[in-house]
Amino acid sequence: MSVALIGLPGSGKTTVGRQLARRLQLPFVDSDHEIEIRIGCSIREFFEREGEVRFRDIEEEVLDTLTQAPAKVVSTGGGSVLRAANRQHLRERGRVVYLKSTPEELFRRLRHDTNRPLLQVADPLLKLKNLFAERDPLYREVAHFVLETGRPSVSTLVNMIMMQLELSAHQNKG
């Protein structure tokens, strides 16, 4: 079974996803990386040239492919939950873990990051607060598990996910 990690930009989806994949002995795939391979440039360039709607179209196609078998760990883009089709594919085709971070935590982690197109604004903290308000209900709708990413280390988060997956496997058998 596949595991998808969702959450705002900077919540740790790629970092946690890589370690989780190693623990589960599954391939790791970063959906944003797969999109960049497909479009032949950075997401930031594509965003500027083609706009967000066109980007979301490609993201939807890539996620549809990635959420199908075989099993893997998928790190999704922060906005992947904006489309109903993506939410449905993620929820129905695997286990979804929402790495929940506060906008303030994310701002601390991301304030020097120039590669995230949505944060290249005058007030990135306000942008993160708005993204959180918009997306948190969608993340919760899709997630099988919600993990607060505040203080735990990456390995602690991976252990917490492993426990959740094991618990849900036992519950599904009973």
* Span 49-53, average pLDDT: 94
0.85 cut: is pTM over it? Answer: yes
Tokens of 38: 């497909």
* Span 157-161, average pLDDT: 96
> Is 87 annotated in some ligand binding site?
no
* Span 12-26, average pLDDT: 97
> Is 102 annotated in some ligand binding site?
no
> In sequence order, what are the beta bridge partners of 73?
3, 28
> Is 108 annotated in some ligand binding site?
no
- The 8-class DSSP code of residue 71 comes to P
| Closest alpha carbon to 66 in 100, 27, 39 | 27
Tell me the pLDDT of the chain averaged across its residues: 93
> Is 150 annotated in some ligand binding site?
no
> Is 127 annotated in some ligand binding site?
no
Tell me the one-letter amino acid at 32. Answer: D
Q: Is residue 114 part of a domain?
A: yes
> Is 116 annotated in some ligand binding site?
yes
> Is 11 annotated in some ligand binding site?
yes
The residue behind tokens 């993201």 is 59
What is the spatial distance between Cα 91 and Cα 69, in angstroms, rounded to a whole number?
14
* Span 149-168, average pLDDT: 92
> Is 140 annotated in some ligand binding site?
no
Q: Is residue 71 part of a domain?
A: yes
What is the spatial distance between Cα 26 and Cα 19, in angstroms, rounded to a whole number?
10
Q: How many domains does the chain fold into? A: 1
Return the CATH number at 129.
3.40.50.300
Q: Is residue 174 part of a domain?
A: no
Q: Is residue 78 part of a domain?
A: yes
The residue behind tokens 């479009």 is 39
> Is 18 annotated in some ligand binding site?
no
Instruction: Indicate the burial class of 154 (C-beta count within 10 angstroms; 0-12, 13-18, 19 or more).
Output: middle
Residue 117 has pLDDT above 70, yes or no: no
Question: In which domain, by residue range, is 60 found?
Answer: 2-169
| Closest alpha carbon to 59 in 91, 27, 37 | 37
